[in-house]
Amino acid sequence: MPKKVGASLSLDFIEQVFLKNASAYKSAFFKTEHVAADFSGGSTMDGQARNTGKPAEYWVQKFLMSELLTTDVSGTRFLATAVGEAVKTETDTQIRQELLAASTLMRGFDGITQSTESLLATLPLTQPAVQAITSRLSRPESARDVFRFSATEYDKHVRYRTVDLDNGATLTAPSNDFSDVFQETPLSDDGRVRFTTEGKVLDRRLRRTK
């Protein structure tokens, strides 16, 4: 139990704690080899986070004054690099289309704290597509690392531009190459344009959704 002693904070360890509601509690455990010269690592448990299963961020950041072990930059970079490599090297056209769609959807997770494993589980991906990403992580165990997703950092490593037209067409290409892949010609002042491209057909299929 914390208590203030002069200008410093003293912590006492309580062996037995009785709670009125056994599920309404928060706890944290930290340890370090050298208090003055090293970071303290540990884990938390939030019995009140029943819906998310994750400890409340205000409690971790404001009350405990702690940060996640995996930073938003490094966690997002690991994921983005794996996605980019998967899209680049995947030979199955259907899986590659899934990866391209997922890459666009991932930007909607900006600021959300979760692991790569849980993030991929929320996306409409088949198991082969998930495996295509996780197998390309530089550290396979990082799939379970919890971090705060950063769309800004993600866009530094994976950039795909998608254009949806009112006729139902969807055009997708790497952002840096989009203007080379698709030539855009304005047709009128109301925003109508014509896109033209040329290439070898690698696959054709009918799909129920985009």
Overall domain count for the chain: 3
Task: For residue range 116-125, list pLDDT tens digits in order.
Answer: 999 999 999 9
Q: Quick check: pTM over 0.85? A: no
Q: Does 200 score more than 60 pLDDT?
A: yes
Same domain for 76 and 153: yes
Same domain for 134 and 93: yes
Domain finish residue from 11, 40, 63:
63
Same domain for 173 and 153: no
Task: For residue range 21-79, list pLDDT tens digits in order.
Answer: 666 666 666 666 665 655 556 666 665 565 555 555 655 665 655 666 678 899 999 99
Alpha carbon 10 to chain centroid, angstroms: 38
Answer whether residue 114 is part of any domain: yes
The range of the structural domain enclosing residue 109 comes to 72-157
Alpha carbon dihedral 73, 76, 77, 83, in 10-degree steps, equals: -170
Same domain for 141 and 79: yes
Q: Extract long-range pairs of 42-48: CB within 8 Å, 24+ residues apart.
A: 47/22, 47/23, 48/23, 48/24
Quickly tell me which residue has 């690392």 as its tokens. 145
Average pLDDT (83-93) is: 88
The pLDDT assigned to 36 comes to 60
Same domain for 59 and 81: no
Task: For residue range 125-165, list pLDDT tens digits in order.
Answer: 999 999 999 999 988 888 988 888 999 999 888 877 778 89
Same domain for 95 and 59: no
Which uninterrupted H or E stretch holds 81?
A: helix 72-89
Contacts of 209 (CB under 8 A, 6+ apart): none
Answer whether residue 204 is part of any domain: no
Alpha carbon 62 to chain centroid, angstroms: 23
